[in-house]
Amino acid sequence: MSLIGKEVVEFNANAYHNGEFIEVSSEDFKGKWNIVCFYPADFTFVCPTELEDLQEQYATLKSLGVEVYSVSTDTHFTHKAWHDHSDAIGKIEYIMIGDPSHVISQGFDVLDEQGLAQRGTFIIDPDGIVQAVEINADGIGRDASSLIDKIRAAQYVRTHPGEVCPAKWKEGAETLKPSLDLVGKI
């Protein structure tokens, strides 16, 4: 069943962030926009390319009022070791959550049969409600730049009730106002 429109499952977890271990909970998602990026495991192949790409978009996402979290079923200790030993991961400034208990991965329905998180990306609004989901097969890396337009569209729709953003919508472009008059005319 889709998680769109549903509140994020409650959780408490340990994370690695900017040289420190911190605690993160589902309550931290409230009051701001969030991107939660699940990935299978630290010290792997596709994962560091994705997380580095996400870091490259981090400043733009922060300017849009978005916090970014990466999550794998590794521990926060493993995240620190990876951060300390990988040039790509060493650049990361966003929060890296450890989910060895699988509570978060199960709550977002991305836990596979091997106990690893699938490549799931979630956009969560300031009320803690899931607004967008993308899940890729293990061998298919994601493009974090696509999140910028998705965030802008989600923010626009939230602040403009009755309007929707069509395909390939960019900030400042025309939106649609669903009505009986539009049916069959697009």
Catalytic residues: 47
CA dist., res. 56 & res. 102, Å (int)? 28
Residue with tokens 């009051």: 31
Residue 1 CB: number of other CB atoms within 10 A? 5
| 123: β partners | 35, 132
| 95: β partners | 69
Record the tokens describing residue 181, joined without a space: 């008059």
Q: Are 126 and 30 in contact (CB under 8 A)?
A: yes
Task: Note the helical H segments in 42-164.
Answer: 46-63, 76-85, 87-90, 103-107, 146-159
Record the tokens describing residue 126, joined without a space: 């300031």
